[in-house]
Amino acid sequence: MFGNIGLPELLVILIVALLIFGRRLPEVMRSVGKGVTEFKRGLRDVESEMDKATTEVRDVAYEARKELPPPAEEAKPAPPPSDAKPETP
């Protein structure tokens, strides 16, 4: 999306920002930086919680699998009914 921004575009953006914000520009940029930092921190927290939840579910599933009895014999096909006609190909 922003991959095509070159030096001329950045200069225009900088000039417009200076015209709009003037002396408050450092304060505005500081606020933007803090906002981005908070956003990244929140994103990391969500990612960390998702990792914890995934690990917990994986552990519970592993423990449940260990507690299950081993499977009995494999299921065998049921015998055909005695009055059934043989299948013709």
Where do we find the tokens 């049921």? 78
> The whole model's pTM is what?
0.50
Please report which confidence band the pLDDT of residue 80 belongs to, taking 50, 70 and 90 as the band edges: confident
Strand (E) or helix (H) holding 23: none
Please report which confidence band the pLDDT of residue 2 belongs to, taking 50, 70 and 90 as the band edges: low
Domain ranges within the chain, ordered by starting residue: 24-65
Q: Once rounded to an integer, what is the mean pLDDT over residues 58-79?
A: 85
Q: Once rounded to an integer, what is the mean pLDDT over residues 37-46?
A: 97
Please report which confidence band the pLDDT of residue 38 belongs to, taking 50, 70 and 90 as the band edges: very high
Where do we find the tokens 């070159």? 6
Cα distance between residue 53 and residue 2, in whole Å: 34
